[in-house]
Amino acid sequence: MFGVTENTIIWANDLKRGAALKVDQHLIILPVSGVQYTVLSGDTLTSIAKKHKGDVEEIKSFNNLAHDTDLRPGDHIIIPDGEETFVSTSPTAKSNQKKSLPSMGGYFADPLPGHRRTQGLHGHNGVDLTLERGASIRAAAAGTVIISKNNGAYNGGYGNYVVIAHNNGTQTLYSHLEKTLTQVGAQVSQGQTIGFLGNTGKSTGPHLHFEVRGAKNPF
């Protein structure tokens, strides 16, 4: 259904091959075939690519990374066409990778007031919200715009999208926009309109794919 490999779903959800699925069970579906990886202290783009048989340039492009210094422990990145190698790690590393995301209750405001949720948690801790096409998309919290793509391109499936870095170390992503209204480096306030609801990228209808990186998604 989503155009990814069976292994991608197995690895992302820590499933055993052949395991039965249950009705209403939530599954993480990455936007491309590959693996999602939690950055550890000391990691480099080259070491991550080697560990999971990925390509450095593809990792940089898909995750909007330029240098090793852009990697921060705890960040989640996607390795296109990567493989889960099951390399043993220390108990501490395993604990960090399994650690549940913190709740930031009350920190994030609704990015699409009046929305209807059409899909629960999937992809990179994202949900799909819908309203009429052209509805205003608002910043869920104050912060700095670190990505703003308004070129109508596929952009890894996100289409036109915006990523905002917040003062508490989290990031929010808003994708499939009809149009963005902000630029990289801009300071935005909570509730500020940053774009309009659209149907760009890997999308079958007008909706907002909203991700929270580094905390639970409250929507």
Q: What CATH class has 6-98?
A: alpha beta
In this predicted structure, the answer to whether residue 30 has a pLDDT above a threshold of 50 is: yes
CA angle at residue 196 from 204 to 151, to 5 degrees?
A: 75
Q: Residue 121 pLDDT more than 50?
A: yes
Architecture of domain 116-213: Distorted Sandwich (2.70)
What is the residue extent of each domain of the chain?
6-98, 116-213
Contact 185, 143 (CB under 8 A): no
- In the predicted structure, residue 210 carries a pLDDT above the cut 60: yes
- The pLDDT tens digits for 2-28 are 777 888 888 888 888 888 898 888 888
Q: Evaluate if pTM is beyond 0.85.
A: no
Say if 6-98 and 116-213 have the same CATH topology.
no
Distances 1 to 22, 67, 104, 154 between C-alpha atoms, Å? 17, 34, 32, 18
Rounded CA-CA distance 27/36 in Å is: 13
